[in-house]
Structure 1
Amino acid sequence: MNHHRALRASTDTGLTIFLIMIVGVVLWTTDEMLGWNLLPDWIDKYAQLLVIIFSILAAFAVVISVMCSFAVMAESTAEKSGIGAPAFSRRAKLIIAAGILVAFGIMFGLHKVDQYRAGSRAEAEKQRISARYDEVRTGLQNLIPATIALFSPEAKQFLTGKPSPDGDEAIARLLTAIQVSTPFDPAVSIMVASQSPYTHCVITTLPERQRQTQTGDWKYLSRKYLTGFPSDWERNAIQAGFTGKEMSVPRGKSGVFINTHLPSSWGTLSHGDRVAGIVMLQGSM
């Protein structure tokens, strides 16, 4: 091996990489600090990866250059002492080549093992999340009848009537009690019909720290009024619920009231001969 040539090549490569990194740092600093937007967007996206790659290449170039420097000094000393450099035999070259191939093979095998283990972990995590989802959803579904029974005729009247401080406080107290008393700590919300120009209203409780207004009054509930539903599946499901039919909701859907990405369960509140509202229990993962 010609160590002089290797020394020159590694040194030139290292200096070139360092020069590129210096120019890159100057451009990146100008782009970020002064906001001149000199660099294309893809460089911003892969800047960290490029820095790592160039740093590794520069480190290898420096190490090779240092090793070649020692080799050149050793050869020079050997020549002055009259010691000739040993020639590599064909067998030695084959052993070195085979060693390099084996090293690459081992790295490739380890990479495949890492991919397999990562896939196994991802699959196990997916199964765990699915099992947890089914557990929470089933638990909430079993609790819906008892939850619906907690709403007295007066509470249903508060929900369908004109908002009042006393009624809001009573509903907020009930919804908070349902949440803290129900396993899986579900978020509780109620959808009721609303007057024109709105079609429905979603009622939830406000956190206690947000209940006192700046004027000193008290506000217990949050009301989100709707003029419609952006998705057909949710509109059809809500219409079915308010007509006393079964609500068919596809899994993996998210709307303004229904979100089956999270384990959820719901039931209808009957008031007289009509549906007063839909109670939603939405657990967390």
Structure 2
Amino acid sequence: MNHRFLLRLVTNLAVFLLTLSCFGTVLWVIDEIVRWDILPDAWSLLVRALLVAGGIIAFVLVVMNVMISLALLAESNASRADLPNYGISTQVKRRVRQSIVIAIVAIALLIGGLQITNHLRSQAAARESQLEFTQAQNDLDTALDQVLDLFSPSLVEAIETNTLSEKGQLGNLSKLLSAVPTSFSHSPIATLVVPAAQAPFKYARINSSNIRSADNGAKLLLAPDLYATFPTTKETEVIEQLFAGKLPTLKESLSGQVIKNTLPSSWGILKRNGKAIAIVYLQSDTLPGFDPYIPSAYHHNGPKSLLSN
């Protein structure tokens, strides 16, 4: 093996890669840190990948350069000391080659085995998460049926006539919504959607955080979240179907302002005199591995039947 030729080659390659890395780093800093946005998104990702790959290769080349330099230094010292040039037998060379092949095969098998094991673990974890999701969904359907029965006729009447404060039912509604997370498994959050009484808004969303005490603490105030419509057509259709007393069909994932079937959730309606006056929605954010702000890999189609009081 010609170590001098290898040293020149490795040194030239290392210098070339380090020079390219310098230019790439300058471009990346201008694009990402200074935020001049001089590169398209695809090119920015490509430059980042080339910087990482070039850095790794340059580091390996530098290590090789040091090793070859040490080998040349050792050969030079051996020549000066007049040391004999010991030869290696063919049998030893064959054994070394066999050992290298066996080591490479063993490493490949080990890496492959680890990859297969990791894949099997991922599949098992996905199945377990799916089972937990389904179980939590069934529990919330059962819980919603019980929550709907907690709305007394006087409370339902106050919700329909928008007279919660006037009829002294605002405190009862606050207590009911606050009691749901502590009364049922998976700590579901209860939300009420009612027609908005204030034009031009069409819907109002109420949960326990929307009912607050006045500054003097003498009475409660209701400050619902108002919606003229919903960002997605699908969620708007679901809300309208529920107010029409129909069971909506959800076959795809929906992560809306109210309805989120990518998390364990359930929904039903409050009725008075045969008319749907409000939507009651339950959602659990406590299931391990499920984040309300991160798209989920799972979704459900909603309750099998339209739940109502």
TM range (shorter): 0.7 to 0.9
| Residues paired across the two proteins, number | 283
Q: Which residue of 2 aligns with 1:264?
A: 265
**Contact 2:202/2:228 (CA < 8 Å) preserved in 1?**
yes
> Residues 17-46 of structure 1: CA distance to partner in whole angstroms, max 9, x if unpaired?
333333333343344454444555345325
Distance 1:220 1:33, change over 3 A: same
User: SS of the residue aligned with 1:268?
Assistant: strand
Q: Is the 8 A contact 1:201 1:226 kept in 2?
A: yes
Q: CA deviation at 1:156?
A: 0.8
For the pair 1:62 / 2:71, whether they are aligned, the reply is no
CA distance 1:65–1:247, change in 2 (3 Å): closer
Does the aligned pair in 2 maintain the 1:11–1:61 contact within 8 Å?
yes
Question: Structure 2: how far apart are the matches of 1:191 and 1:141?
Answer: 18
Counterpart residue number, 2:44 = 44
How has the CA–CA distance of structure 1 residues 215 and 30 changed in structure 2, closer, same or farther, with 3 Å as cutoff? Answer: farther
**Could you tell me how far apart the structure 1 residues matched to 2:36 and 2:144 are?**
59
Conservation of the 8 A alpha-carbon contact between 2:196 and 2:204? no
Partner of 2:297: none
The correspondence of residues 120-139 of structure 1 with structure 2, limited to 5 A, is: 120-139=120-139
Write the mapping of 1:137-176 to structure 2, written as runs, cut at 5 A.
137-162=137-162, 165=165, 166-176=168-178
1:18 aligns with 2:15: no
Q: Which residue of 2 aligns with 1:119?
A: 119
User: Letter of the aligned partner of 2:136 in structure 1?
Assistant: V
Distance 1:96 1:255, change over 3 A: same
2:109 is equivalent to residue 109 of structure 1: yes
Question: 1:44 is aligned with what amino acid?
Answer: S
Residue 185 in 1 paired to residue 187 in 2?
yes
- Note closer, same or farther for the CA distance 1:71–1:249 as it changes in structure 2 (3 Å cut): closer
**1:8 matched residue in structure 2:** 8
- Provide the rounded CA distance (Å) in 2 between the counterparts of 1:214 and 1:48: 54
Which secondary structure state, in structure 1, belongs to the residue aligned with residue 279 of structure 2? Answer: strand
Q: Which residue matches 2:212?
A: 211
Query: What's 1:273 paired with?
Result: 274
Q: Are the structure 2 counterparts of residues 33 and 203 from structure 1 closer, same or farther at C-alpha, using a change threshold of 3 Å?
A: closer
Change (3 A) 1:99 1:47: farther
Structure 1 residue 222: Cα displacement: 1.9
The answer to which structure has the higher helix fraction is: 1
What letter is aligned with 1:279? Answer: V
Match of 1:220 among 200, 210, 222: 222
Paired residue for 2:77? 77
Contact 1:169 1:220 (8 Å CA) reproduced: no
Structure 2 portions without partners, runs of 5+: 288-309
Mean alpha-carbon deviation: is it higher for 135-144 or for 35-44? 35-44
Q: Distance in 1 between matches of 2:30 and 2:254?
A: 45
Percent identical: 25
**Contact between 1:191 and 1:202, CA under 8 Å: does it hold in 2?**
yes
Seen in structure 2, the aligned counterparts of structure 1 residues 23 and 8 have a Cα distance that, compared at 3 Å, is: same
Separation of aligned partners in 1, 2:69 and 2:158: 88
Distance 1:17 1:228 in 2: 53
Q: Which amino acid aligns with 2:129?
A: I
2:267–2:282 contact (8 Å) kept in structure 1: yes
AA aligned opposite 1:138: N
Q: Which residue of 1 aligns with 2:294?
A: none
Cα pair distance change 1:174/1:49, threshold 3 Å: same
Rounded Cα–Cα distance in structure 2 between residues aligned with 1:27 and 1:263? 45
Q: Is the 8 A contact 2:192 2:279 kept in 1?
A: yes
Given that 1:237 and 1:248 are in contact with CA atoms closer than 8 Å, whether structure 2 keeps it comes out as no
Give unpaired runs (5+ residues) of structure 1. Answer: none
